[in-house]
Chains A and B, each alone.
Chain A
Amino acid sequence: MLHSKLIALVPLLPFATFLLLGLFGRKYLKNFSGILGTLSLLVAASISFYAAYEYFFVVGKNAAGVYEQIIAFKFTWLEFSPGVSIDLGVILDPISIMMLVVVTFISLMVHIYSMGYMKGEERYATYYSFLSLFTFSMLGLVMASNIFQIYIFWELVGVSSFLLIGFYYDKPSAVAAAKKAFIVTRFADLGFLIGILVLAFYSHTLDFQTLIERLTNHSEYYTTITAASFMGVSALTWGLVLVFIGGAGKSAMFPLHVWLPDAMEGPTPVSALIHAATMVVAGVYLVARLFPVFALSCPPALQVVTYVGLFSSLFAAIVACTQTDIKRVLAYSTMSQIGFMMFALGVSGYGGEEGLGYMASMFHLFTHAMFKALLFLGAGAVIHYVHSNEMKDMGGLRKSMPITHITFLIACLAIAGIPPFAGFFSKEEILAAAFHSNKLVFVVAIITAGITAFYMFRLYFNIFWSKEKVIDHAHDDHSHDSHGEGTKTMLIPLIILGLCAVGAGFIPFSHLVTSDGKVLETEFNPMFSIGPVLIAVSGILLAMFMYKKANSKPDTVSKALGGFYKAAYNKFYIDEIYLFKTKKIIFNLIGKPAAWFDKNIVDGCINLSATITENIAEALRPIQSGKVQQYAIWFFVGVLSFSVLFIYFWTN
């Protein structure tokens, strides 16, 4: 049996590191913080690898050969009413174990990489404490056994992402990006929160296992939640779609994706960890976690997932072709790939052959984490070298950065889906799943895959080929020699991840991670994969043709496309629409009137009452004239009138 205490160490170690570095790092541990953080994560990663081994090969399967969910640990954190409580727990099942491995592994790589990348940074210790905080939160998220626990860690990853994007807090653009990321995802979290409230209300529980059980069986809970409806849609659909909105926000799905490209303001290793490999797939993970409910009880919600994912993937791929900031290209490609995972879940069913999409999605999540982290870390090395994010400052770097070049190429091939690299296998499964369930999805997906290959190689050729001269304006030859391609700590993760990007595809995912825990037998059909590979290869060739040598072809093409190119370059003006919405509508139409109303109407009423009192007093003031005889007259008149009054009453 797995040692639950040992598992609990996995998130607790980064948490302890966070506290230690956060409280004392600045003063006492400045130079050791990198090593400290890395070591603690190394232990955590080893434990999770061990746990994965134990789970998948020793204890995970029950007698029937099905992977079961194991609650390793559970603790009631906040009890609302009997049965409805926020528990902090650890759930172990194939997807959580897989995420555990991904998160600790990528985080470990990023920790190692950052030792070189962030060297000499003034807030080195703070950086590592934030990284640890993020890792802790992400681990808590993936191990959550309770829907509210996911929400708790969901918020925590949000805030650590905020802190890391805004790490260079004296740069206004970084602060703005951090704010944007937090607020946009917060907006999505609102949906998530309300979704939780809806689901919890009808199922009378917050615990995942119970929740799934109650909403998939045709029990009384299921009946009430489907019977209740609002605006003609059942409460279950509302709940799930709202929860999905939360997931879409974190996973940068259209139209909540606007924060992701801007989030690239953070240090590049952070982008690799948070905005490529781990946090952004939290939305996919969330849908996967609730997958039985989506698939068995509420197909309409799954339709929403499919089309949002599909549109996002195509949209992001088109935008990625036009961006010139290499990190932004990668950001859009991340969005596009997450779109793949989303619609793969969307086209999937629950159990057996139907569950191919689910398996493919998780598989793609896994391989994507490897090669996307690699791409980002490679891009980080490039940026470190040329001190710029812009493609125009790069070119011909293959000679000066050989290791980066090779690993980057591997990653590009992987994401383009060229066999035998990791992305090929997972993407193939996704396309197969789409092919079997929805032809429209399949067609769009395959087009997107082609575009993916094109823009990735556009990126690759622009960085490593294109202009042959090595740019020198950032620094002279002397500094070239001194910092070369990067420190060992930067190169080792690249190499390790490069190996993973080659090898990860051979992991038999269909035996390990499936929707119902049973083994899913998939036959590999070479005939089917010819088409997608050909499309990918043609995308690569097109990119090669256009970008291998510096020439005017790209300009000609962009001119020919005219308005469409311009729109794509400006990300289809989504940012502007948001800006308009927030600045003009929220601030001017709601905020300002509210403030005005408060100052003038509400406070005005209060001041008015004061003024009225004052005016009455002013009006009554002349009565108190200071003239004795006037007072006397009042007095006599008063006495007389009272006498008259009393006499009148007495005599009657």
Chain B
Amino acid sequence: MNLSLLILIPLLTAIVILTCKNIFAVRWVAFIGSVIQLGLSCALLYFYNAERASGNLGQMLFTERHSWYAALNIEYYIGVDGISIAMILLTSFVVAAGVLISWKMETLTKEFFFLLMLLSVGAYGFFISLDLFTMFFFLEVAVIPKFLLIGIWGSGKKEYSAMKLALMLMFGSALVLIGILGIYYNTNDGSGHHTFDILKISHQHIPLSLQMYFFPVLFAGFGVFTAMFPFHTWAPDGHSSAPTAASMFLAGISMKLGGYGCLRVATYLMPEGAHHYSWVIILLATIAIIYGAFATLMQKDLKYINAYSSVSHCGFVLLGIGMLTKVSIEGAVMQMVSHGLMTALFFAAIGMLYERTHTRQVAQLGGLLKVMPFIGVVFVIAGLCSLGLPGLSGFAAEMTVFMGAWENPEIWHRFATVLACASIVVTAVYILRAAGSSVMGPIKDEHFRLIKDAEWNEKLASVLLLVAILAIGMAPFWLINLVGPDSKIIMDQLSSIGGF
């Protein structure tokens, strides 16, 4: 299977969108493009499993390598393993749902969909890159469209939010760049040149003293993307100002870029650094989980609620990485996928509510289950997924993180795990508060009675995400089997250094 298709298809879609004459054509081109992506990623999963079943033990499959700046040894080097396939699947589902949800986008439609597609190019490229520089390149591709999406199509204090988000993410990517260069100048590709090749670097030993400097830089850089405390404040403002699809992309995909980077680049390439700083990661993750949950309790705007809860949930990703056990790393990956789907669904539901009621204030909503049963049910299911109901994806992911975290027997890690577990209660409180007073309860505004339920595109988008959520929640074994072997590779790297 040709992995470059994953970049080419959205890119091609984006270009075709630009040549479209009317809104109608734009929508359908975007939709068809996203469906092809969806098909591609499912096919990728299939071919990957088939390849593994046939005994291919390569660490990365479907690799492809072209030099694109030989002087610095920068290569277009791509390939996938189970973890990246999980992320690619997530991306394609969220992209398709996002396109469907923005069906009614009237202002500057062409540009809007163009930017969405550009963002997905960045995401796919990032997940399949095996070359640090190429990876960084795609990371940047994914940042810029977000600024425009929020700045142009946003609502509320959109300029402030867009600026804040773009600047903070740029700050993050600056740190990433420093980290990548730090690694680069300490590598050797065997012929005396430096290299950006992740696999080659993983076989080399980056000097310990350098890891002490560059691990935190790189981890914090990616941490900004995944809304790590205390670099999370772009998330609430950004989400709340962004148009629905952009929120979905932001929380569903772009926060995952950070988590994936933390795992694949920072932790995998600098295992000693990871061991040395794991307590900091755990500390920050635990703070994010608990404090994000409590901060969510006090929010009054639905989008803020989901944004803060995302901070809390992404804390699980970092906690899983920080705990440095195989199971916890699997849990982190599962949590990334699960949270991406669930938060996208949640934002979709909030967007649908907002479009109809023109308010996102919990206090002004009420009884919507009666007038729009479909959206109400989607909202409740997204909420239940967020609070970790078995049968939905959140449960399997969180439990895997907890199980993995508990394997780490130090008292301090135990304490962090217990605190993290405690967040499930707080999560239940704020989710039920939000659901209880916005979709349940009496109808607060008589205008709500005239509201129509979801239309086909919205239904399709929700169903798409629901299917994915249920597929993980009901049968998590396929996902854990997909990411398990590769988590083990990362774990082997971590435990290869001895002394731990």
- Are any A and B Cβ atoms less than 8 Å apart in their complex? yes
- Report which A residues bind B (CB closer than 8 A): 26, 76-81, 84, 86, 148, 151-153, 155-156, 159, 162, 166, 169-172, 175-176, 178-179, 182-183, 186-187, 189-190, 193-194, 197-198, 200-201, 230, 586-587, 590-592, 594-595, 597-598, 602-603, 605-606, 610
B422 CB contacts on chain A under 8 angstroms: 190
Contact B433 A76 (CB under 8 A): no
Interface segment among B61-69, B176-184, B294-302: the answer is B294-302
Q: Which of B428-462 contact A (CB under 8 A)?
A: 428-429, 432-433, 436-437, 440-443
B429 CB contacts on chain A under 8 angstroms: 183, 586
Contact A610 B167 (CB under 8 A): yes
B144 CB contacts on chain A under 8 angstroms: none
Give the Cβ gap from A373 to chain B, nearest Cβ, in Å.
Answer: 26
Task: Give bound CA distance, A587 to B298, whole Å.
Answer: 8
Task: Give bound CA distance, A162 to B230, whole Å.
Answer: 35
Task: Give bound CA distance, A189 to B402, whole Å.
Answer: 14
Interface centre among B373, B396, B424, B429 (most CB of A within 10 A): B429
Contact A605 B230 (CB under 8 A): yes
Picked from A159, A162, A592, A603, the residue with its CB within 8 Å of the CB of B233 is A603
B234 CB contacts on chain A under 8 angstroms: 606
List 18 extra interface pairs beyond A169-B367, A197-B402, A594-B298, CB under 8 A.
A77-B477, A78-B396, A78-B399, A81-B326, A156-B389, A169-B441, A170-B440, A175-B441, A194-B421, A201-B407, A590-B294, A591-B294, A591-B295, A591-B297, A595-B299, A602-B232, A605-B230, A610-B164
Interface centre among A76, A148, A151, A162 (most CB of B within 10 A): A162
Report the interface size class on chain B. Answer: 35 or more
B440 CB contacts on chain A under 8 angstroms: 166, 169-170, 175
Picked from B232, B390, B418, B441, the residue with its CB within 8 Å of the CB of A194 is B418
Picked from B391, B400, B421, B432, the residue with its CB within 8 Å of the CB of A179 is B432
Contact A606 B164 (CB under 8 A): yes
Closest to B481 in A: A79
Q: Given A153-B390, A193-B424 in contact, is the A591-B441 Cβ separation under 8 Å?
A: no
A171 CB contacts on chain B under 8 angstroms: 442
Contact A190 B424 (CB under 8 A): yes
Contact A155 B441 (CB under 8 A): no
Q: Given A80-B404, A155-B390, A197-B403 in contact, is the A602-B396 Cβ separation under 8 Å?
A: no
A84 CB contacts on chain B under 8 angstroms: 403
Give the Cβ gap from B329 to chain A, nearest Cβ, in Å.
Answer: 12
A176 CB contacts on chain B under 8 angstroms: 436
Interface centre among B164, B297, B390 (most CB of A within 10 A): B390
Contact B233 A598 (CB under 8 A): yes
Interface centre among B230, B234, B403, B421 (most CB of A within 10 A): B403
Contact A595 B476 (CB under 8 A): no
A193 CB contacts on chain B under 8 angstroms: 402, 421, 424
Contact A78 B424 (CB under 8 A): no
Closest to A606 in B: B233
Contact B390 A152 (CB under 8 A): yes
A182 CB contacts on chain B under 8 angstroms: 428, 432
Task: Give bound CA distance, A201 to B476, whole Å.
Answer: 21
Contact B295 A80 (CB under 8 A): no
Interface centre among A80, A86, A151 (most CB of B within 10 A): A80
Task: Give bound CA distance, A159 to B167, whole Å.
Answer: 42
Contact A77 B476 (CB under 8 A): yes
Q: Given A170-B442, A179-B432, A591-B298 in contact, is the A190-B421 Cβ separation under 8 Å?
A: yes
Q: Is the CB of B384 closer than 8 A to any CB of chain A? A: yes
Q: Is the CB of B406 closer than 8 A to any CB of chain A? A: yes
Task: Give bound CA distance, A310 to B441, whole Å.
Answer: 38
Contact A197 B417 (CB under 8 A): yes
Give the Cβ gap from B418 to chain A, nearest Cβ, in Å.
Answer: 6
B400 CB contacts on chain A under 8 angstroms: 78, 80
A594 CB contacts on chain B under 8 angstroms: 291, 294-295, 297-298
A81 CB contacts on chain B under 8 angstroms: 326-327
Give the Cβ gap from B289 to chain A, nearest Cβ, in Å.
Answer: 12
Contact A183 B425 (CB under 8 A): yes
Per-position 1/0 for B364-405, Cβ under 8 A of A: 000101100100000000001001111100011001101110
Contact B421 A187 (CB under 8 A): no
Closest to A162 in B: B432
Closest to B298 in A: A595
Contact B428 A183 (CB under 8 A): yes
B295 CB contacts on chain A under 8 angstroms: 591, 594-595, 597-598
A587 CB contacts on chain B under 8 angstroms: 297-298
Closest to B330 in A: A80
Main secondary structure of the interface of B (DSSP, over half): helix
Give the Cβ gap from A161 to chain B, nearest Cβ, in Å.
Answer: 13
Contact A598 B291 (CB under 8 A): yes
The 10 closest A-B pairs by CB, nearest first: A595-B298, A594-B294, A152-B390, A591-B297, A169-B440, A603-B233, A197-B406, A186-B428, A179-B432, A594-B295
Q: Is the CB of B480 closer than 8 A to any CB of chain A? A: yes
Closest to B418 in A: A194
21 contacts between A and B (CB under 8 A): A78-B396, A79-B480, A81-B326, A152-B390, A152-B391, A155-B388, A155-B389, A156-B389, A170-B370, A171-B442, A175-B441, A186-B387, A190-B421, A194-B418, A197-B406, A197-B417, A591-B297, A598-B233, A602-B230, A606-B234, A610-B167
A79 CB contacts on chain B under 8 angstroms: 477, 480
Q: Is the CB of B139 closer than 8 A to any CB of chain A? A: no
Task: Give bound CA distance, A200 to B436, whole Å.
Answer: 35
B388 CB contacts on chain A under 8 angstroms: 155
Q: Is the CB of B168 closer than 8 A to any CB of chain A? A: yes
A179 CB contacts on chain B under 8 angstroms: 432-433, 436
Per-position 1/0 for B138-157, Cβ under 8 A of A: 00000000000000000000
Task: Give bound CA distance, A175 to B370, whole Å.
Answer: 14
Closest to B234 in A: A606
Closest to B398 in A: A193
Contact B373 A26 (CB under 8 A): yes
Task: Give bound CA distance, A159 to B381, whole Å.
Answer: 11
Q: Which of B327-374 contact A (CB under 8 A)?
A: 327, 330, 367, 369-370, 373
Closest to A186 in B: B428
Give the Cβ gap from B370 to chain A, nearest Cβ, in Å.
Answer: 7
Task: Give bound CA distance, A450 to B425, whole Å.
Answer: 38
Give the Cβ gap from A348 to chain B, nearest Cβ, in Å.
Answer: 31
Q: Given A78-B396, A80-B400, A190-B421 in contact, is the A156-B370 Cβ separation under 8 Å?
A: no
Closest to B479 in A: A78
Contact A187 B425 (CB under 8 A): yes
Closest to B380 in A: A163
Closest to A588 in B: B298
Q: Which of B230-289 contact A (CB under 8 A)?
A: 230, 232-234
Closest to A603 in B: B233
Task: Give bound CA distance, A3 to B317, whole Å.
Answer: 43
Closest to A198 in B: B406
Closest to B480 in A: A78
A591 CB contacts on chain B under 8 angstroms: 294-295, 297-298
Task: Give bound CA distance, A598 to B234, whole Å.
Answer: 11
Give the Cβ gap from A157 to chain B, nearest Cβ, in Å.
Answer: 10
Give the Cβ gap from B121 to chain A, nearest Cβ, in Å.
Answer: 29
Give the Cβ gap from A384 to chain B, nearest Cβ, in Å.
Answer: 24
Task: Give bound CA distance, A172 to B442, whole Å.
Answer: 7
B436 CB contacts on chain A under 8 angstroms: 166, 175-176, 178-179
Task: Give bound CA distance, A153 to B390, whole Å.
Answer: 8
B370 CB contacts on chain A under 8 angstroms: 170
Closest to A122 in B: B370
Give the Cβ gap from B245 to chain A, nearest Cβ, in Å.
Answer: 25
Contact B428 A156 (CB under 8 A): no
A77 CB contacts on chain B under 8 angstroms: 475-477
B399 CB contacts on chain A under 8 angstroms: 78, 86, 148
Give the Cβ gap from A168 to chain B, nearest Cβ, in Å.
Answer: 10
Q: Given A186-B428, A598-B295 in contact, is the A78-B389 Cβ separation under 8 Å?
A: no
A155 CB contacts on chain B under 8 angstroms: 388-390, 395
Contact A200 B441 (CB under 8 A): no
Closest to A170 in B: B442
